Amino acid sequence: MSALIGANTAATTTTAEFGLGDRHTDHDGKVWVYVQASASIAQYDVVTYDETYYTTVAPVSTSNDARGDLLGVAAVAFADNEYGWLQIYGPCTLNVLASCAPNVELTTTATGGSLDDATTASLIVADGIVTTAASVSVASAKAGVLNFPAVGRTL
């Protein structure tokens, strides 16, 4: 993967500037994928996306966590139908629920875009993504690490 000239991972646009699915490695070694949002996405949301890079590009939740779909994190907010970059590798900031422990297996939740450390049967694991800082008593954005995350197995 290589750097793309003109790639701005800190902004979204209403028209495509790159090909859907293009990947970009920035100067810090973080890897990004270019998508078109199919729903509104908040900053730091964990986002599910499928092989089309536009049919399903929405905050991940227990209602859209299809096994095998890929995950990324939105460094900026997206409006529905906007184009932009999701981070898929490297240190990041991501949304987690209250009291989420660091460096443990994370699962999808009913709260779109936020992961948790819950171990309830029937929850879906988010493989390749961890937080590195404990969440406090409220849902918040925390430091984490991405390693090409995907929707994984059911607990």
70 DSSP 8-state letter: E
Whether 86 shows a pLDDT value over 80: the answer reads yes
Q: What does pTM read for this prediction?
A: 0.95
- From the CB of residue 93, how many other CB atoms can be counted at a distance below 10 Å? 16
**How long a stretch of residues is the chain?**
155
Whether 134 shows a pLDDT value over 90: the answer reads no
pLDDT band at 2 (very low <50, low <70, confident <90, very high): low
